[in-house]
Structure 1
Amino acid sequence: MKNLHYDIVGSFLRPVQLKEARRDFAAGKLSLYELREVENQCIAELVKKEIDQGLKVVTDGEFRRSYWHLDTFWGFDGISHTTQKQGYLFHDEETRNDSAQVNGKIRFAGDHPDLEAFKFLRNLTKDADVVARQSIPAPAQFYAELVRGPENVAAVKKYYPNEADLFKDVEQAYHDLIIALYKAGCRDLKIDDCTWGMVVDNDFWATMVKQGFNREDLEQKYLELNNKALQDLPQDLRLSTHICRGNYHSTWAAKGGYAPVADYVFAKENVDTFYLEFDDERSGGFEPLAKVPADKEVVLGLVTSKRPDLEKAADLEQKVKKASEYHDLDHLALSTQCGFASTEEGNQLSEDQEWAKIKLVESTANSIWK
């Protein structure tokens, strides 16, 4: 899909039918089989709509997940689904308080919910002229969750007194999952990553420094984790990463431009494409794009998925033109800034407004890259 200049990040608002089925399942009113049937139906309808809309890369909307990241973590051996005293603190609200905690040696056991989800998506798309994309959270994001709070840290130290052993197992578990996805037909894998989005926030780091953290040390740690998990993969597997600053019920968790991390993630991460948020002033300017290698793609997330207001095409075109001063226009593309439902709560807009955003991305891209 080289030179495809419009794209999506991946998650879609959950249909009412799916939300009701998940509630009924949690209440014991619906069996797991019955829940899966509802998921299957909703995913099939979504994929048809994506194809009809003209999207060339399609997803399952992350309809089988509750969270964009935790469900993947819970799928590995050695990980427990736990809760903390509080959830993630976003700008305007606090999330649910679920977490992932080490309870043994971490490994990919051969079965995983993301693998099963992709197999279903692949089966839906195998006869269509589209690419089925799987998204998974970054290895660095996994590490960040495993050391979130004193209870998680204590669990890590119990099973991994040497942090190097933790890194080795995380990297291997991810590598094994990715290879399994590839064998199932995956040729487009997106790594979603909020860790870099937190690192760029100076207010966040003022607190972290007081706790003894060093920004550059952590950047190096994140980079190493991600790159080692992504090494020695098939050449025809397109790897991308989406750098996010938090996306929960239309709120955000971090702010700041990409300059503090550009020398690490832009210059050195082993991916082909960067999906970057540039939907408001929290994102900073386009200048850090100069650090992206010339042969790599940058997908500009200029159309917000957080608010229903529709951007003006002329404004988007002007911003793309500005970005092209730092990275060649032929290696740029346009998308929404994030998914529409990074968690099952979803952002505060309607399904019609969601699709209007996607139509705007497509029509604007077709105008820019004729």
Structure 2
Amino acid sequence: MTVTKVKAPFRADQVGSLLRTETLKQAKKDFKEGKINAEQLREVELQEIKKIVDKQIEAGLQVVTEGEFGRDWWHSTFMEHLLGAEGYIPEQGYNFASQETDPYDVRLVGKVAYNPNHPFFQQAKDLLEIVGDRAVAKFTIPSPNQFFHPDILNGQYKDFDEFAPDIIAAYRETIQEFYRIGVRYLQLDDVYLAVIATAPFSPEEKKYRAELAVHVVNSILEGKPEDLTVTTHVCRGNYRSDYSFAGGYDDIAPIIFANEKVDGFFLEYDDERSGSFEPLKYIPKGGPRVVLGLVTSKTGKLENKETIKARVEEASQYVPLEQLCISPQCGFASTHHGNILTEEEQWAKLKFVAETAKEIWG
């Protein structure tokens, strides 16, 4: 593989997850019912991943993902396979705006550490082989900040400060292995940043949490190879077209936007819940690209191109146009349930992003 730095994020990019196909849904159901084994399930996953990779390229995207077809939940399927962690079924799920999720979570049962046999490494290899040189393959994992919850720590550490060095070490080695495999575009999905931005913490608590979040991400990126692109997606929750958090980026922007050393920020801006573009003024000029999530993945209704162009122009008052990109605001299926839209509407959205970006940037 060549080691030329990927020009990512792309003008037309995407967050990652895609609606599970009916064939894949049936295979996962058969697996859970014991009708097929893990190897047979993976065969179906790969068959369907090949199809969606082709569809993404046909939509005009330069960057493709495996749609998170090998996982049930965007975060827990990765987190539970680090050493010292396990998945479990709690008494209740997460509370979203209008519903409660299926109960499933992750907790620590020991000191967290790198797992050299993490199943995501093989998934990344498979994606790279399927894509070849036809496009850039992006692989997504949850941010290490997703572990910063008392329920997840589960009494294994006395506080976040004691925990931070171990999760940093685990992620550093994980990133190195992804790079060794051939991954050159990696995305960290981070709901925790939205928690900090919108939760009623005191100013002092917000500052502590935001500074710790930046420290952890910057620490895992220390010594990052020059030709590895790492971005972060600030997510407000995505479950069956519902959301968890509402509010702008104002409270975290002076710390997160100004100091987190990623190559790009994927920011949700598909409705009024996201606040204004003004916090983008903290993004360093000439620094990370800002991917404006202006196209919603929560409904199938297609946006108006002129409206999107006007929104990009508005954002360019705070970040130069050459530093901006566009994408859907989130994935289409952060969990295996998927959002409430059809596969045809999903592909239309991605094609719309590619076409609109081409009209803006050429």
TM category, shorter: over 0.9
Q: Distance in 2 between matches of 1:135 and 1:265?
A: 20
Q: Give the alignment's TM-score, normalised by structure 1.
A: 0.93
For residue 250 of structure 1, the aligned residue among 232, 235, 241 is 241
Deviation of the 1:254 alpha carbon: 0.2
Q: Distance in 2 between matches of 1:332 and 1:52?
A: 23
Q: Distance in 1 between matches of 2:107 and 2:64?
A: 32
Moved over 4 A (4+): none
Q: Distance in 1 between matches of 2:313 and 2:289?
A: 15
Root-mean-square deviation (CA, aligned residues, Å) is 1.5
- The one-letter amino acid paired with 1:191 is L
For residue 241 of structure 1, the aligned residue among 226, 229, 232 is 232
Q: Give the alignment's TM-score, normalised by structure 2.
A: 0.95
Task: Give SS of 2:254's match.
Answer: helix
- State which drifts further: 79-88 or 319-328: 79-88
For residue 194 of structure 1, the aligned residue among 175, 191, 194 is 191
Q: Which residue of 2 aligns with 1:39?
A: 45
Q: Which residue of 2 aligns with 1:75?
A: 81
- State which drifts further: 217-226 or 233-242: 217-226
For residue 294 of structure 1, the aligned residue among 267, 273, 285 is 285
Q: Distance in 2 between matches of 1:6 and 1:109?
A: 33
Q: Distance in 1 between matches of 2:116 and 2:7?
A: 31
| 8 Å contact kept, 1:198–1:255 | no
Task: Give SS of 2:88's match.
Answer: strand
Q: Which residue of 2 aligns with 1:226?
A: 217
| 8 Å contact kept, 1:231–1:270 | no
The equivalences for 1:359-370 within 5 A come to: 359-370=351-362
| 8 Å contact kept, 1:200–1:255 | no
Deviation of the 1:82 alpha carbon: 1.3
- The one-letter amino acid paired with 2:157 is Y
Task: Give SS of 2:325's match.
Answer: strand
* Higher helix content, 1 or 2: 1
- The one-letter amino acid paired with 1:56 is Q
Q: Which residue of 2 aligns with 1:138?
A: 143
Q: Distance in 1 between matches of 2:210 and 2:182?
A: 32
- The one-letter amino acid paired with 1:222 is A
Q: Distance in 2 between matches of 1:110 and 1:258?
A: 36
For residue 123 of structure 1, the aligned residue among 124, 129, 132 is 129
Task: Give SS of 1:302's match.
Answer: strand
- Residue 314 (str. 1) matches residue 306 (str. 2): yes
Deviation of the 1:2 alpha carbon: 2.7
Note the alpha carbon deviations across 1:196-228, whole angstroms, 9 max, x for none.
112222xx31xx55xx98221111222222221
For residue 268 of structure 1, the aligned residue among 259, 268, 288 is 259
Identity of aligned residues (%): 39
The equivalences for 1:63-102 within 5 A come to: 63-102=69-108
Gaps of 5+ in 1: none
Q: Which residue of 1 aligns with 2:7?
A: 2
Q: Distance in 2 between matches of 1:286 and 1:119?
A: 37
Q: Which residue of 1 aligns with 2:171?
A: 174
Q: Distance in 2 between matches of 1:330 and 1:216?
A: 31
